[in-house]
Amino acid sequence: MSTEAPEAPKAPDARRGTLQSGKGRLADPIFKWTVGVCGTVVLVILALMVVRTTAEAWPVFAKEGFFGFLLGEEWDSGRSRTEITGTYGAWPFIYGTLVTSAIALAIALPLSIMIAVYLTHLAPSRLAKPLSYTVELLAAVPSVIFGLWGLHWFLPHVLRPFFDRLEAAMGWFFLFEGPVRGVGYLPAGIVLGIMILPIMTAIIREVVAVQPLEQQMAAYALGSTRWEVVTKVVLPASFSGIVAATMLGLGRALGETIAVLMLIGGSQSWGGSLFDTGSSMASHIAATFGEAAPETRTGLMAIGVALFLVTMVVNILARVIVWRLGQITGDSAV
């Protein structure tokens, strides 16, 4: 578009006279309202989600109290069809979700920053494109395949020997206390880390790639090495983007179900060693929902509401940061 051309007048205004008459004059408003109604479907679905699930879960919140439910350590499901007879405390599952997500972030955050820097500043230009493409493909692999692979290959062939050694070396530290059981918090967290790595890498790579070249050139001209340019110019400027990527990754990790379910072991205890088995909020819902009595389903619904609240807060914060950054789309892999 040439710069000096005056702004073209808005087309509909110029034709107002002909549009208001004729036998098709209702077509436009009808079309507008149709797509508008379709657009509001998203809002309706979200509103329904909040209202419907909260209403379903209300009896449990009413009995345990909101914080009593979140911090209660005992989950003793009842068998009643009509009333709440069991004790519902979600803390063991909240703990499992927090621990596995923390492990996943501890693995994925440093790796994804390093990969993003490698792809944008270090990789030979012939390699950079196919490599980032491949990393993004990793994001498309369904989580159930990660679970299968983690449970039947990665765990027995790689993690188990590694855990045994870790236990032998670090067993005095309470987080790495034996016995090594195989499934547990740590394997679930590690596989979760592999799963959120591509999403975080994709976003951080975009953020790092759009940093202004002039500043980097200026730093090089002052005699900086590449390492100094990356750590002192590029990464500080990318900070808020990295925070946003971390939160989107965290949102994913908090809500991931199947892979965690297959690797965490599914017990209802909490605390202690990272080798112990446990449950995350999502995995506990998926594992017990099928056989649960109606009142227990109410309890599971309440866990779902708590999970929804947490992921919403994390996601909205992340989106607000991403939106303020402006120029990145950020969801090539999301």
Partner 1 sequence: MSTATTTPPAPPRHVPLSERPPGSGYRRFKDRAASVVLTGAMVLAMIPLVLIVFEVTRRGIGVVDLEFLTATEPPPRREGGGYAAGFFGTLYIMALAVVLSIPFGIATAVYIVEYGPNRLTGAIRFFTDVMTGIPSIFVGLFVYGLLVIGWGGLGFGTFTGAVAIAIMMLPIVTRSAEEMLRLVPDEIRNASYGLGARTWQTIVHTVLPAAAPGLVTGSMLAVARGIGETAPLLLTAFGTGLVVTSFQGEPQGAVPMQLYRGALQPFEAGIDRAWGAALCLFLLVLVFTIAARWIGSRASVSR
Is residue 152 involved in binding partner 1 (CB under 8 A)?
yes
Among 62, 106, 141, 217, binds partner 1 (CB under 8 A): 141
Q: Which is nearer to partner 1, 251 or 273 (CB)?
A: 251
> Per CB under 8 A, does 312 bind partner 1?
yes
Backbone torsion region of residue 6, taken as left when φ is above 0, otherwise alpha when ψ lies between -120 and 50, otherwise beta: beta
Q: Which of residues 262-291 bind partner 1 (CB under 8 A)?
A: 262, 282, 285-286, 289-290
Angle at 267 between CA 265 and CA 271, to 5 degrees: 100
Find the binding residues for partner 1 in span 3-22 (CB under 8 A). Answer: 8, 11-12, 15, 18-19
Residue with tokens 């003793």: 76
Q: Which helix (H) or strand (E) holds 76?
A: strand 75-76
CA 46 to chain centre: 18
Nearer to partner 1, 71 or 127 (CB): 127
Asked if residues 251 and 315 have their Cβ atoms less than 8 Å apart, the reply is yes
Residue 83 contacts partner 1 per CB under 8 A: no
Tokens of 90: 């979600």
Name the region of 266 (left: φ>0; alpha: ψ -120 to 50; beta: rest): left
Q: Distance between alpha carbon 324 and the CA centroid of its chain, in Å?
A: 20
Beta carbons of 276 and 264 less than 8 angstroms apart: no
# residues contacting partner 1 (CB under 8 A): 97
Query: Between residue 97 and residue 136, which ones bind partner 1 under the rule CB under 8 A?
Result: 110-111, 114-115, 117-119, 122-123, 131, 134-135
Interface mask toward partner 1 for 177-206; x: CB under 8 A: -----------------x--x---x-----
CB 244 within 8 A of CB 321: yes
Residue 307 CA, chain-centre distance (Å), reads 12
- Tell me, residue by residue from 21 to 60, as one string, x for binding to partner 1 by CB under 8 A and - for no binding: ---x--xx-xxx-xxx-xxxxxx-xx-xx--xx-xx----
Question: Distance between CA 55 and CA 140 in Å, rounded?
Answer: 34
Q: Which of 59, 92, 251, 299 binds partner 1 (CB under 8 A)?
A: 251
Q: How far is CA 166 from CA 105, 169, 311, 315, in A?
A: 20, 5, 32, 34
Which C-beta is closer to partner 1: that of 114 or that of 169? Answer: 114
- Closer CB to partner 1, 115 or 274, in the complex: 115
Helix or strand holding residue 252 (H, E): helix 239-255
Is the Cβ–Cβ distance between 146 and 191 less than 8 Å? Answer: yes
3-state secondary structure of 108: helix
* Residue 261 CB coordination number (10 Å): 22
Least distance in angstroms from the C-beta of 118 to partner 1: 4
- CB of 114 vs partner 1, minimal distance in Å: 4
Least distance (Å) from partner 1 to the CB of residue 174?
A: 28
Least distance (Å) between residue 180 CB and partner 1 = 20
Question: Which pairs with CB-CB distance under 8 Å and at least 24 residues apart come from 23-28?
Answer: none
Q: Is 62 in the site for partner 1 (CB under 8 A)?
A: no
Among 66, 173, 174, 227, binds partner 1 (CB under 8 A): 227
Indicate the residue type of 18.
T
Q: How far is the CB of 26 from partner 1 (least distance, A)?
A: 10
Whichever of 216 and 273 has its CB closer to partner 1, that residue is 216
Min dist. Cβ of residue 37 to partner 1 (A)? 8
Stretch that binds partner 1, among 59-67, 87-95, 257-265, 271-279 (CB under 8 A): 257-265
Does 168 bind partner 1 (CB under 8 A)? Our answer is no
Q: Output the smallest distance, CB 171 to partner 1, in A.
A: 26
